[in-house]
Amino acid sequence: GNSVTQMEGPVTLSEEAFLTINCTYTATGYPSLFWYVQYPGEGLQLLLKATKADDKGSNKGFEATYRKETTSFHLEKGSVQVSDSAVYFCALSRMDTGRRALTFGSGTRLQVQP
Amino acid sequence: SQTIHQWPATLVQPVGSPLSLECTVEGTSNPNLYWYRQAAGRGLQLLFYSVGIGQISSEVPQNLSASRPQDRQFILSSKKLLLSDSGFYLCAWSVAAGGSYNEQFFGPGTRLTVL
């Protein structure tokens, strides 16, 4: 089956600290991988994506590399800001639905303190 | 540009009452459409998805149902709400020809509280 496992939160950091949020997955075939972000009271927004092994997705200073050998897609940022406080979801595209549907992890809440 | 709308934004309903949540997409044709539920402190659960008018795939058997009466309209319904139906309901769309990936675009959500 398909599943996504994320590190439990909340993750609390000081401004300008380095961020890593771990994500590992189980899937059949070769899914595409995504990170979505949810700011308080809002819907989800796509943060970055990677479609094949060794691809690196990046956006707004965030990066994640598709590691097939370790089935991982860890999210990193070199220097977080208070405005990065949100819930981050790792997701994969489900091959059994022709890549139409996504399977999400449970989300990791990030709190950045000034 | 494409936009996705959901309404109502918030809803408080008594147990046993019916439910109808609506989602519409503008600026695209023949999208794939999705309903997700996010319970408090938990991740996203895919409820239904649709690849065309009248075509609904259900992920989890429950007292909810979905319909797609028009190409860009997706409705989530229930005849009798349960307490466990409380949560944040998100509608999403994606391009039908997903190719090698399937980026989904989410609406603002509806917060449902069942009392």
Radius of gyration of chain B (CA): 14
Residue B95 has pLDDT above 90, yes or no: no
Q: How far is A46 from chain B (nearest CA, A)?
A: 7
CB–CB of B49/B34 below 8 Å?
Answer: yes
| Rounded (5°) CA angle B104-A21-A105 | 45
Amino acid at A111: Q
| Chain A touched by B56 (CB under 8 Å) | no
> Is any Cβ of chain A less than 8 angstroms from the Cβ of B107?
yes
- Write out pLDDT tens, residues B25-76: 999 989 999 999 987 767 788 899 898 999 998 888 688 999 999 999 999 9
Q: How far apart are CA A54 and CA A14, in angstroms?
A: 30
pLDDT of residue B96: 76
Cα distances (angstroms) measured from residue A24 to each of A21, A69, A70, A109, B41: 10, 11, 8, 17, 20
Give the one of B34, B43, B103 whose C-beta lies nearest to A46's C-beta: B103
Identify the pLDDT of residue B41: 67
**Cα distance between residue B44 and residue B26, in whole Å:** 24
A7 three-class SS: coil
Nearest to A38 by CA among B30, B72, B88, B79: B88
Instruction: Check residue A72 and give its pLDDT.
Output: 97
In a mutational test of the A interface, the residue from B104, B105, B110, B111 whose CB has the highest number of chain A CBs within 10 Å is: B104
**Would you list the DSSP string of A35-71?**
EEEE-TTS-EEEEEEE-STT-EEEETTEEEE-BTTTT
Q: How confident is the model at residue A107 (pLDDT cuts 50, 70, 90)?
A: very high
Tell me the percentage of chain A whose pLDDT exceeds 70.
96
In this structure, what is the dihedral angle of CA atoms A19, A105, A50, B1, given to the nearest 10 degrees?
-100
Selected residue with higher pLDDT from B114 and B60? B114
B 58-87: CB under 8 A from A: 59
Nearest to B43 among A97, A98, A104 (CB): A104
* A24: confidence class by pLDDT, cuts 50, 70, 90: very high
User: What is the reported pLDDT for B100?
Assistant: 47
* Closest CA of chain A from B52, distance in Å: 12
Contact B76, B35 (CB under 8 A): yes
**pLDDT over threshold 80, residue A100:** no
Q: How confident is the model at residue A98, as a pLDDT?
A: 65
Q: What is the mean pLDDT of residues B10-17?
A: 96
The torsion angles phi and psi of A82, rounded to 5 degrees, stand at -55, -35
Q: Determine if the peptide bond prior to A114 is cis (ω within 30°).
A: no
Contact (CB<8Å) B101/A49 = yes
